[in-house]
Amino acid sequence: MGTEKIRSLFNDLLQAVKHIHNLHIAHMDIKVENCLLTRNGILKLTDFDHAKDFIPGVMMSGSVYATEAYAAPETFNKLYKPACADIWACGIFLVFLLKNNVPWEVADGIRDTSYRKWFLMENKIHFFRFPKSRDGVSAFLLKMLEIDADERATADEILVHRWLQYPKRQRKESE
């Protein structure tokens, strides 16, 4: 899939996430299988079975039933901020779009050696090794896959990031 199509689909996902987060709802199971495409190629987020109401900035406790490959590491400790967990899942979703695979089976250094390798890397930007045509995507991705949930980007911050905005700027400059 081309980079521009990936940007478009990912933008659709982030717009949906921004919308539900503004309503103080976290999806809690964002993954490729929970998205549909319209006839016009617009991505729609579906399956809100695990969605949770949340208070911004407040930690929640309890079990999370998200798909493990997309679940944020803090959710395994059963103390997490739901909106931050959704953003982590968006990052894994983007890796899937770019590589047609998730980077690990579970974000747990004991249970998954790929995650442990990434977690221990000093310069995580080199872990994913995207083609040259996807310059800048690794830094963009790391804003969502920040280990510290309090430092993780929000949907609003991601939507204005240079990597996601690049095609719009390019069109404006060429007009």
8 Å CB contact between 83 and 56: yes
Does position 173 have pLDDT exceeding 70, yes or no? no
| Residue 143: Cβ-neighbour burial (10 angstroms; 0-12, 13-18, 19+) | middle
Q: Which residue is catalytic, options 12, 29, 86, 112?
A: 29
The per-residue pLDDT of the chain, averaged, comes to 89
Domains and CATH numbers, the chain: 3-174 (1.10.510.10)
29: annotated active-site residue? yes
Residue 52 banded pLDDT, cuts 50, 70, 90:
very high
pLDDT value of position 165: 83
Whole-angstrom Cα distance, residue 154 to residue 23? Answer: 14
pLDDT average, residue stretch 85-96 = 97
